[in-house]
């Protein structure tokens, strides 16, 4: 059986998701697992886990592009191991790679390594750019949003609200509420 997997990073990328589904159907996918997950929440790839569970011996999991499947080379290798253990293969349409062949498996491993290397270089350049901008006084960073609401946190606490209620009401994390309350002048010794 040919099984497809499609994913977009945010809820507003429906056109991209529809294009993936169209390409997967054209590739002969009989069943397609679809999910929209933010890049921050890549850990929670429920439909990918479901697709990997569904795959049986002789099946092929198909994705349109490598970045729709794995978040790192380690994750990619984990997926490949699961597929191999089940006697299934992986096909990436945009790269013309099929792990049912030894060459396809080799190419995927090499390309995954190159992608991870490029990402590491990009992050290093980003850090260098930020350090340079800071040194020149041009980089201020993000304004601490939770701390800007310190007065509201203190007022709501004085009204008798619990930390979790304050966090929900102001749209911040409980840890931020606790931090603000701990920094309050009356809590300092």
Catalytic residues: 9
**33 phi/psi in degrees, rounded to 5:** -100, 125
| Spatial separation of the C-alpha atoms in residues 47 and 149, rounded to whole Å | 38
What are the CA-CA distances from residue 139 to residues 53, 121, 143 (Å)? 47, 21, 11
What are the CA-CA distances from residue 151 to residues 133, 142, 179 (Å)? 32, 19, 13
| Spatial separation of the C-alpha atoms in residues 151 and 183, rounded to whole Å | 12
What are the CA-CA distances from residue 70 to residues 48, 150, 155 (Å)? 10, 40, 45
| Spatial separation of the C-alpha atoms in residues 33 and 28, rounded to whole Å | 14
Q: What does the DSSP 8-state code read for residue 59? A: -
User: Which has the closest alpha carbon to 13: 32, 36, 33, 29?
Assistant: 36
């Amino acid at each position: 059986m040919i099984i497809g997997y499609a994913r977009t990073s945010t809820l507003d990328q429906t056109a991209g998701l529809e294009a993936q589904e169209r390409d997967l159907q054209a590739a002969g996918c009989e069943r397609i697992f679809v999910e929209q997950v933010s890049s921050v929440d890549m850990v929670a790839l429920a439909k990918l886990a479901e697709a990997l569970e569904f795959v049986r011996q002789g099946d092929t999991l198909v994705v349109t592009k490598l970045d729709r499947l794995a978040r790192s080379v380690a994750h990619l290798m984990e997926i490949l191991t699961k597929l191999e253990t089940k006697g299934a293969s992986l096909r990436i349409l945009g790269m013309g790679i099929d792990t049912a062949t030894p060459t396809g498996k080799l190419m995927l491993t090499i390309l995954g390594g190159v992608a991870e290397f490029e990402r590491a270089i990009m992050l290093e350049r980003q850090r260098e750019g930020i350090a340079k901008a800071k040194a020149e006084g041009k980089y201020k960073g993000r304004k601490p949003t939770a701390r800007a609401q310190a007065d509201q946190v203190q007022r709501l606490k004085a009204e008798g609200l619990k930390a979790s209620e304050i966090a929900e009401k102001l749209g911040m994390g409980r840890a931020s509420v606790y931090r603000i309350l701990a920094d309050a002048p009356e809590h300092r010794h």
